[in-house]
Structures are given as structure tokens and as C-alpha cells.
Amino acid sequence: MKISPYMAAYAIVAMQTGMGVLSYQQVLVKDAGHDAWISIIGAGLTVHLLVWMMYRICETVEGDVLYANVYLFGKVIGNSVNTLFIFYYIIYCLGSLGGLIEIIRTWMFNDLNPFVFAAIYLLLGIYIVYGGFRTVAGISFLGLVIPSYLALSFLIPLKYGHFSNLLPVLDHTPMELVKSGYNMIFSFLGYGILLFFYPFIKNPKQSKKWVHIGILGTTFIYTALAVVTFAYFPEGLLERSIWPTLEMWKIVRLPFIERFEYLGIANWALIMLPNVAIALWCASRVAKRVYHFNQRKAVIVIACVCVIFVSLLQSRDRMNILFDLHSKAGLALAYFYTPILYLGLLIKKKVKAK
């Protein structure tokens, strides 16, 4: 069963809206200070270029990246490269789930059992994957639309913000802006799933505009939230804030709820569900295509691996190692592997034509 073209945008935006939204401001401000919002726009523009390359790759082979690797490198090397995607999406799932558990234990329930929580959460992820990719895309839609009201909560920090904190504009060197943009790239990761679900889109060419609109929307959200954060926090205080988004929620007071950040974290558990479900789907689909495993059985094995490792990652040092590994792997996949694959397919197609 295939999804409508516009649903492709929801799947990609859902993958880009992860744990990074809660903490990316602190990382960016270290290099570019109050000019970091410019770096976000620059990083977002590079994503559009890479998505264009991904569409060209899939159109060239009329299939997904798994077929493209075999077509370009041969069956042995191509399937070896494809196998790496299994490990990448396991790491992606671990990072998403581990980060969520860390926030819940830090802000809400100190004695939360990570094994039990991960097992229950991944059972839900398995159930979604069992429904097929249309169900996965559907939960991406719900994971974005239902918690969208949280955007209104940032009007209160905006009220107390001082936009003089953003002045003077362009007060940093181009190299500092590039370094900040490099750190922003990690928050944008996730659009690479297009290479895997391209065959599941009805009329893929019609989905191009929707995916680019979705990425443009993500860039706007990250930029707007950064501007609100820079206006609210003095630069020195922001550098010491681990989760600036959660800290801004602390000043929100409603008649029926005093700790609004609790509501935000609860909604974030829903927002993170598409990240986990899509990662499980991608890893299990690669296992099915490369090793001919039954996808339903493969996703159970992958989920069990994630449950075991999540239980072993409950320390800040180990989580930092995992996040660093995921960031470097995602950077290599997006900015090195994708252009190389695109150029390789372009050359091979011209050689075969001659």
C-alpha cells in the first residue's frame, strides 16, 4: 500500500522534529552567538540540495537506495553497504529513545525503569510497523498535528524577550557561522528516509514540492524558536542551559496546570514515536531486502536489541558517545555518501548509454 504524495512531507518532518528541538540552541550559540539563526537558514538550504539529489538517485534506478547500491557497486559490495543502514537506524532508534528516557528521568520521574519504559514504547513501535508503511506515515501525521498547539506556548517567553540580545546582526565571522551551521546539521538529520520509502509514494514526482515545503517549514520552526530563545536568554546563561526549550516552558502557567513542562514532555513522547517507528521500519526493511528475513520477525529482533542497549546507556557520558556516533554517521550519510552515490549513478548511466 502506497501513501499520498503530501504524506511524504509529514514522514520527513517528523524525523527532523526530534530531541534536538529541546537543546539545539545551546549548541549553536557557542560558535555564532546571537547570529546563530543565520546558520540555521544556511543549513536548511543545504538540505534542499541533498533532497534533490536523493530524488535523482531514486529516479535513476526507479527504486530505493538498496537497489541503487547493488546497481552501482555490485551485489556483494552493495549489500555490504546496505547492511550498514541496519546499524545506523538501530543507533538512531537508541538515540531517540535514550534521549526521551533521560529527559523523563531528569524532569519528571527519577526512578523510572528504562528497561520497562523502553519495552512498552517499542511494543507500540512494533505494532505500528506491523500495520505497514501507511500506518507509519499516519503516526507521523498525528505526531506532528496533535502536539502542534505547543507552538502557542512560546508566545509567553516571547512576551518577556529582549530582542536587543540579537543585536548587532552579523557580528560574527563567516567561519563562526559555518561552524554553527555544521552543528545545526545534526538537528536536521532524518530526511535520508526518503531513500528508503520512495517506492511507497504514489506519483513520487508530485511529492517533491510537498517534501521541499515540509523542509522549509522545519527550517522556519527552528529559526523562529531560536530567535525566541536568543531574545529570552542572555547569551552567557544560554550556554549553560542543557534544555533551553524546556526551561522556557517553566514560566508558562495555566489555570488547570502549573508545571507546563510536564505537559510538554508528555507530548514529546508522542512526537518521538514516529522517530522510533520509522527507524524500526527502515532497519527491518533493510534486513528483509538484504538477508530475506521476515520483516515482522526482524523488527522484533531489532526492538529487543534496542531494549537491551537502552538499559545500558543510562549515563550522560554514554549518551554523549551515542549522540556523537549518530551525528557523525548521519553527517557522513548525508553530505558524503549521498553526493558520491548520485555522481556514481550519473557516470554509470552515461557510460552504459554510450
CATH number of 7-353: 3.40.50.920, 1.10.3720.10, 1.20.1740.10, 2.60.40.730? Answer: 1.20.1740.10
pLDDT class of 97 with cuts at 50, 70, 90:
very high
Does residue 89 register a pLDDT over 90? yes
Q: What is the pLDDT of residue 221?
A: 95
Does residue 257 register a pLDDT over 80? yes
Task: Give per-residue pLDDT as tens, 208-225.
Answer: 999 999 999 999 999 999
Q: Which amino acid is at 118?
A: A
Does residue 354 register a pLDDT over 80? no
Task: Give per-residue pLDDT as tens, 153-199.
Answer: 999 999 899 988 888 898 889 999 999 999 898 889 899 999 999 99
**Cβ pair 306, 78 in contact under 8 A:** no
pLDDT class of 236 with cuts at 50, 70, 90:
confident
> Within 13 A of 120's CA, how many CA atoms are on the CB side?
7
Whose CA is closest to 125, among 283, 334, 316?
Answer: 283
DSSP secondary structure of 25-88: HHHHHHHHGGGHHHHHHHHHHHHHHHHHHHHHHHHHHTS-HHHHHHHHH-HHHHHHHHHHHHHH
Instruction: Tell me the H-state helices in the chain.
Output: 7-16, 24-32, 36-61, 65-73, 75-107, 114-130, 133-145, 155-159, 174-188, 194-197, 204-232, 235-238, 244-249, 260-291, 295-312, 316-332, 338-353
Whose CA is closest to 181, among 81, 79, 46, 42?
Answer: 42
Task: Give per-residue pLDDT as tens, 5-60.
Answer: 999 999 999 999 988 899 999 999 989 989 999 999 999 999 999 999 999 999 99
pLDDT class of 255 with cuts at 50, 70, 90:
confident
Q: What is the pLDDT of residue 343?
A: 96
Degrees, nearest 5: CA angle 274-330-335:
125
Domain coordinates in residue numbering, the chain:
7-353
Cell of 171: 557580528
